[in-house]
Amino acid sequence: MSPVSYREPNEKRRPPALFFIRLACAGTVAVAAAAPAQVRSAYDYLARMDGDGDGRVSLAEYQAWMGYAFEAMDRNRDDTLTADELPGGRGRPVTLAAHREALAATFRRQDADRDGFLDARELAAPPR
Q: Left, alpha or beta for 123 (phi > 0: left; psi -120 to 50: alpha)?
A: alpha
Domains and CATH numbers, the chain: 17-124 (1.10.238.10)
Of the chain, the percentage scoring pLDDT greater than 70 comes to 70
pLDDT at residue 81 tops 80? yes
pLDDT interval class at 60 (50, 70, 90): very high
pTM, whole model, 2 decimals? 0.67
Give the three-state DSSP class for 119: coil
The rounded distance, in Å, linking the Cα atoms of 37 and 106 is 21
Partners of 117 in the β-ladder: 58
